[in-house]
Amino acid sequence: MTGFPDVSKIKYEGPDSTHPLAFRHYDENEVVEGKTMKEQFRFSVAYWHTMRGTGADPFGPATMLRPWEGPEDNVENACNRVRVFFEFCEKLGVYFFCFHDRDVAPEGDSLTQTNQNLDAVVKVIKEEQDRTGIKLLWGTANLFSNPRYMHGAATSCNADAFAFAAAQVKKALEVALELGGDGYTFWGGREGYQTLWNTDMKRELDHLARFMHMAVDYAKQIGFTGQFYFEPKPKEPTKHQYDFDAANCINFLRAYGLEDHVKLNIETNHATLAGHSVEHELEYAGMQGFLGSVDANTGDLLLGWDTDQFPTDVYMTTKIMLAFLKYGGLAPGGVNFDAKVRRESFEPIDLFHAHVGGMDTFAKGLKIAAAIRADGQLQKALDDRYCSWATGIGAEIDTGQHDFASLEQYMLEKGDAEPNQSGRQEALENLVNRYVF
């Protein structure tokens, strides 16, 4: 069966289009800063939300109308769902996807059975990839849903949970290799803790590092050359997640010798839950050489939890795209819509509205970011702000020609610092607005 019989391929119609399911800004062939939009974004659909999101929340059950779903969550149904998924991606014009092992295939009664289920579904995924040319941006393992992971997976107090998780990631890497995946993501799930009364934090972090090293080693062994990503998230489900934010994750990776193997997958709403903005997290990761990939979504400041909404704010996507362009793009990473339709948006067509809107918002953000960069006024204002470092004492400090004693001498002779300049924040906000509207 087809999943979306009433939808034909989404087209680019230009900014004046009033068609609710056409792109007004995302033209995959349009070249911006030397790359087509298709290459710049490497948009990806998240299988877990788009195919497995049910609309259930703590106050009520599933609401989603998904006519292709059979009565039972078995392998046959899972294979059928894969075909519907590829139909969705094709009609949308997205060339990448991401999935967790357990979203695509149901768990069996044993690890052997579960792996067989996964193999059966992966076979169909492979067929659909070959048919459509759609690629795996990154794969990952669900190390948080099954009750065996209640205390975490790699950081569990139960060594058997660690071992099971290792077996699961081993298989997930084999699958990622088979599907030609460009990456593999670690998201902590339950890697964190609720209270120090029952937690040996040092031991847990040592285990997490050992686990990641095992993954890196196994990837090498089987010839999986995709990029590893670590995805920061500060809270949910535990009170203290070990992968809090970009700075915390980078420190962990460096402390445990993983910095050459793992980059970051920055998610918008995880940034805001950490009390940052996504542009802060991207800039931090970028300047440290850890910018890998992006999980695109947005939160709601009035709700304050991980709502995973689709991005519709052009200011936000402009800031994201400024970071992308500054750091030379994301490939082999991409922009993965780790986002879900609202519980009330329960019809299949809502999935198209959501993704089309997200892609268009990013495309507009890219155009604005490119215009800001081409104009150069924002960069000039930034350069001017730091002009005291370009020559004279600033340049001398930067080239290591001073110490505290010589700087004291410099100030004793000079008497006082040069007066400060205005930060001009409001003027710069107005300048940015000139490109937005």
The binding site for Co ion (CB under 5 A) comprises 267, 295, 338
- Per CB under 6 A, the list member of 243, 267, 279, 360 interacting with ligand XUL is 267
Nearest approach in angstroms of CB 267 to ligand XUL is: 5
By CB under 6 A, is residue 140 in contact with ligand XUL?
yes
By CB under 6 A, is residue 241 in contact with ligand XUL?
no
233 binds, among Co ion, ligand XUL, none (CB under 5 to 8 A by kind): ligand XUL
By CB under 6 A, is residue 340 in contact with ligand XUL?
no
By CB under 6 A, is residue 245 in contact with ligand XUL?
no
Beta-carbon neighbour count of residue 348 at 10 Å?
Answer: 19
By CB under 6 A, is residue 306 in contact with ligand XUL?
yes
Q: Are 318 and 369 contacting, i.e. CB atoms less than 8 angstroms apart?
A: yes
By CB under 6 A, is residue 185 in contact with ligand XUL?
yes
- Per CB under 6 A, the list member of 97, 187, 230, 252 interacting with ligand XUL is 187
Nearest approach in angstroms of CB 295 to ligand XUL is: 5
Bridge partners of residue 167, in order along the sequence: none
- Total residues interacting with ligand XUL, rule: CB under 6 A: 11
By CB under 6 A, is residue 283 in contact with ligand XUL?
no
By CB under 6 A, is residue 243 in contact with ligand XUL?
no
By CB under 6 A, is residue 168 in contact with ligand XUL?
no
Site string for ligand XUL, 91-120 (x = CB under 6 A): ---------x--------------------
| CA–CA gap between residue 329 and residue 286 (Å, rounded) | 10
140 binds, among ligand XUL, Co ion, none (CB under 5 to 8 A by kind): ligand XUL
Phi, psi of 309 (to 5 degrees): -85, 160
Nearer to Co ion by Cβ, of 182 and 267: the residue is 267
306 binds, among ligand XUL, Co ion, none (CB under 5 to 8 A by kind): ligand XUL
Site string for ligand XUL, 199-238 (x = CB under 6 A): --------------------------------x-x-----
Binding site for ligand XUL (CB under 6 A): 48, 100, 140, 185, 187, 231, 233, 267, 295, 306, 338
